[in-house]
Amino acid sequence: MPTLDDKVVLVTGAGSGIGRAHAELMAARGARVIVNDWVSASAEETVARIEAQGGVARVCVADVSDGAAVRSAFAQAQDALGAVDVLVNNAGIASGLVALEDVDADSIDRMFAITVKGTMLCTQAVLPGMKARRSGSIVNTASIMAFGSHARGSVYAAAKGAIVSLTKTWAREFAPWNIRVNTVAPGRVSTAMTAHLSANAAYEEDMRRRVPLGRRADPEEIATVVAFLASDEASYVTGQVISPNGGEVL
């Protein structure tokens, strides 16, 4: 089992769903965890859950698309828990399936601000420290939709496609400092983001037909992949996109 002993991990969007699963698993594997979310009550709940299991965690409230807020909140959290060794850029929002003709410009701006700009701003905030220590692991979050798995998903797919591009660009750019950059691209996962879909019987039946393993993932099944990428066991893995998706995209 990959250990994260002595590592400081910062997970964005860790107040819920997959991000909370990352935070809890990494804490259970020995990391001190900085729990970012823009909803402070959600981040506090994740920290309380980790502490109840004997782990070490700290709340870090910031909207990832707000550079000044990210820099200030990340600096305060690092003063408390130590310099970030592992950054998991997980925060994200959903967008429904919409025909391109019906996509409104504001939804494009909002998606790109949180997904693409947010990933860039959070990475900028930890990069100088990782470079100074000549060590780091960054795990970004895409989706199978980056590979064209769904029609009518332009906005989300384009933003997640950009995450794959950033991952490969940064893997080359940061390698001289021994900083690895990878992406997890989940398939369908049971979280608040997808709860409205799980409640739709016809959608679920279609999902079971399309996914060879015949079910959604639990958030913990994404977290185990990210914990590996974060750990020193993945020391020769960089620029890769790993897609736990039940076989939906092969």
Ligand X SMILES: NC(=O)c1ccc[n+]([C@@H]2O[C@H](COP(=O)([O-])OP(=O)(O)OC[C@H]3O[C@@H](n4cnc5c(N)ncnc54)[C@H](O)[C@@H]3O)[C@@H](O)[C@H]2O)c1
> Which of 81/139 has CB closer to ligand X?
139
Can residue 246 be called a binding residue for ligand X (CB under 6 A)? no
The window from 12-20, 47-55, 97-105, 164-172 that contacts ligand X (CB under 6 A) reads 12-20
Q: How far is the CB of 241 from ligand X (least distance, A)?
A: 12
The window from 60-68, 74-82, 99-107, 206-214 that contacts ligand X (CB under 6 A) reads 60-68
Helix boundaries (H) for 82-153: 105-112, 118-133
Can residue 192 be called a binding residue for ligand X (CB under 6 A)? yes
Q: Is 203 a catalytic residue?
A: no
Which of 23, 139, 189, 223 is close enough to bind ligand X by CB under 6 A?
A: 189
Distance CA(44)–CA(194), nearest Å, equals 23
Can residue 93 be called a binding residue for ligand X (CB under 6 A)? yes
Pairing mode, strands 8-11 and 179-184: unpaired
Distance CA(7)–CA(33), nearest Å, equals 8
> Which of 167/191 has CB closer to ligand X?
191
Given 74, 147, 156, 170, the catalytic residue:
156
- How many other C-beta atoms can be found within 10 angstroms of the C-beta atom of residue 172? 11
The window from 88-96, 130-138, 170-178, 227-235 that contacts ligand X (CB under 6 A) reads 88-96
For the purposes of burial, counting CB atoms within 10 Å of the CB of 110, is it exposed (0-12), middle (13-18) or buried (19 or more)?
Answer: middle
- Contact predicate 126/74, CB 8 Å: yes
- How many other C-beta atoms can be found within 10 angstroms of the C-beta atom of residue 213? 12
> Which of 17/136 has CB closer to ligand X?
17
Q: How far is the CB of 142 from ligand X (least distance, A)?
A: 7
Can residue 92 be called a binding residue for ligand X (CB under 6 A)? yes
Residue for token digits 């506090």? 44
Structure tokens at 125: 């905030």
Can residue 118 be called a binding residue for ligand X (CB under 6 A)? yes
Which residue from 195, 187, 14, 8 is spatially nearest to 92, judged by alpha carbons? 14
* Rg of the chain in Å (alpha carbons): 17
Q: Which residues are known to be catalytic?
A: 156
Task: By CB under 6 A, name the binding residues for ligand X.
Answer: 12-13, 15-19, 37-39, 42, 63-65, 90-93, 114, 118, 141, 143, 186, 188-189, 191-194
